[in-house]
């Protein structure tokens, strides 16, 4: 499998003090049963937990729970070959699906004390820390675009968005940010 992410330019991201683009990354979508997930996450040095809607992170790698049989695996852009080989060895002989979606998606970070309020401009979730704690992740919508949302700190969120929707999502957030910033 060839890593195409280095050949792609990032999409236009509307300027905002609360929203910034994150660097390109390796993104793999893994589907399989709990045995597959345990083997894959173990190979990547990540903790396997069956808790719904939670992310596991260590050493620059992350696995976001998108469903009982689905994880979005994130790693630095230059780690594609290493991560792919680790997963190929760990998953040999196990029925699974592993797809490189690095070229399809990009990431934005929404941060600041009003990050949850900003996201509520187009996302129907409750961002109170009791309802959406640090480490929680889910597939949801922002405006009319599907996103994967992950709370990485009390006032910081990581958004995975399809590259073609990134300009729209960033404009929605930039417009809402103008209303929130003095």
111-160 pLDDT tens trace: 999 999 999 999 999 999 999 999 999 999 999 999 999 999 999 999 99
So what's the pLDDT on residue 5? Answer: 47
pTM, two decimal places: 0.90
Domain range list for the chain: 12-180
Q: Residue 131 burial (CB < 10 Å; 0-12/13-18/19+)?
A: exposed
Mean pLDDT of 20-32: 96
- pLDDT of 7 over the 50 cut: no
Q: Which CATH class is domain 12-180?
A: alpha beta
Q: Residue 178 burial (CB < 10 Å; 0-12/13-18/19+)?
A: exposed
pLDDT range class, residue 182, cuts 50, 70, 90: low
């Amino acid at each position: 499998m060839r890593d195409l992410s280095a050949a792609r330019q990032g999409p236009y991201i509307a300027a905002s003090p609360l929203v910034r683009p994150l660097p390109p990354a390796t993104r793999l979508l893994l589907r399989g049963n709990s045995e597959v997930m345990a083997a894959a996450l173990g190979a990547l040095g990540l903790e396997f937990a069956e808790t719904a809607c939670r992310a596991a992170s260590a050493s620059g790698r992350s696995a976001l729970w998108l469903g009982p049989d689905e994880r979005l695996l994130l790693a630095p852009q230059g780690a594609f070959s290493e991560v792919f080989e680790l997963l190929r060895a760990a998953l040999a002989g196990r029925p699974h699906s592993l797809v490189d979606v690095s070229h399809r998606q990009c990431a934005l970070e929404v941060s600041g004390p009003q990050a949850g309020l900003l996201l509520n401009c187009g996302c129907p979730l409750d961002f109170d820390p009791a309802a959406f704690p640090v480490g929680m992740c889910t597939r949801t919508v922002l405006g009319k675009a599907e996103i994967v949302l992950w709370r990485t700190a009390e006032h910081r969120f990581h958004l995975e968005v399809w590259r073609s929707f990134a300009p729209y999502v960033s404009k929605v957030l930039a417009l809402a940010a103008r209303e929130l910033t003095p």
